[in-house]
Amino acid sequence: MIHVQVLVLLALAAPPELKRARDRLEFGAWADAAGAIRQLLAKSPQLPDADAVDAYRILGIAEYNLGDQDQSRSAFVNLLARDPDYALDPFLVPPAIVEFFDRVKRENEPSLGPLRARKREAKEQERLAEEARRKLLAEEQARAGPPTKVIRVQERLYIINWMPLGAGQFQNGQPSKGTAIAAGQVGAALVNLSAILLHNQIATDRLRSCVSGQPGCSRPPYSDSDRQLLRGIDIVKYSSAAVFWGLYAWGVWDAHRNYIPVVETEIAPGGGGATLRLQWSF
């Protein structure tokens, strides 16, 4: 199961030729799989160890199924040269190929033993180097003491500049201006909605309609007084809409004018104060 999980992870970042060879191997297209691997090795002879191991595994299995055990042996030797402890998964690979691979491994054990030891030494050297690095950093931190300042980075969203109700002003640290814009837009919206509802109520009220010839009904179906009232309501409706969109446009312009994408705030660890730094970053 662990081997399957490793193969899945490797597939996510594998070269396209390796992925194609893996797919062809699963479908039993041995010649196509071997050809894709040879194309990959010719183009990228210095593959990372993980990709190289998988490539030679596919090549060895494909060549064995094609009946060329010499080429299969060569592929498996190249695999073991990169990972001397590698073992084929018996749940995924036919027993005959697993037995052949193990035989190649035993035959080359005199060379694999020293290689395995050198790899262990290299890993141990990497571990010691990492310990030395951590020790150096710990000693430096102990010498320097706790940090003298903490920097808080706040990234602001550009899309908020286009939002209504003073959202851009609130993001830019201007709450008073944002509150004024929000209050103005909410007020204008309420007036506009009220005007629309009142206009519709008067326009659809059949009790207020009139017919031609009635006094004060020069242009039916509305009386002259209702028509004048509707005209005044329309003025309020369009004026409130203009105020709403005017405040919106001004708020967007002002938000862009004062927009800072990244804000860095230096905070003293003891809470002694803060210093604001603005940084443009695109």
pLDDT given at position 281: 47
Tell me the C-alpha distance between 259 and 251, whole Å.
12
Q: pLDDT at residue 11 above 90? A: no
Averaged pLDDT score across all residues of the chain: 83
Q: pLDDT at residue 277 above 60? A: no
Q: pLDDT at residue 149 above 60? A: yes
Q: Is the pTM of this model over 0.85?
A: no
Q: Tens of pLDDT along 192-240?
A: 999 899 888 888 877 777 777 778 777 777 777 878 888 888 899 899 9
Look up residue 137 and give its amino acid. L
Q: How far out from the chain centre does Cα 229 lie?
A: 56
Local confidence band at 139 (pLDDT 50, 70, 90 cut-offs) = confident
Q: pLDDT at residue 53 above 50? A: yes
Residue 61, both tokens: 């299995």
Q: Tens of pLDDT along 85-127?
A: 899 999 989 999 999 999 999 999 888 888 888 888 888 888 9
In order of 11, 188, 269, the CA distances from 41 in angstroms are 17, 70, 55
pLDDT given at position 120: 86
Tell me the C-alpha distance between 77 and 73, whole Å.
6
pLDDT given at position 1: 47
Q: Tens of pLDDT along 158-188?
A: 888 898 898 888 888 888 888 999 999 999 9
pLDDT given at position 147: 64
pLDDT given at position 199: 87
pLDDT given at position 208: 77
pLDDT given at position 104: 93
pLDDT given at position 24: 92
Q: pLDDT at residue 10 above 60? A: no
Q: Tens of pLDDT along 68-88?
A: 999 999 999 999 999 998 999
For the chain, the first-to-last Cα distance in angstroms comes to 45
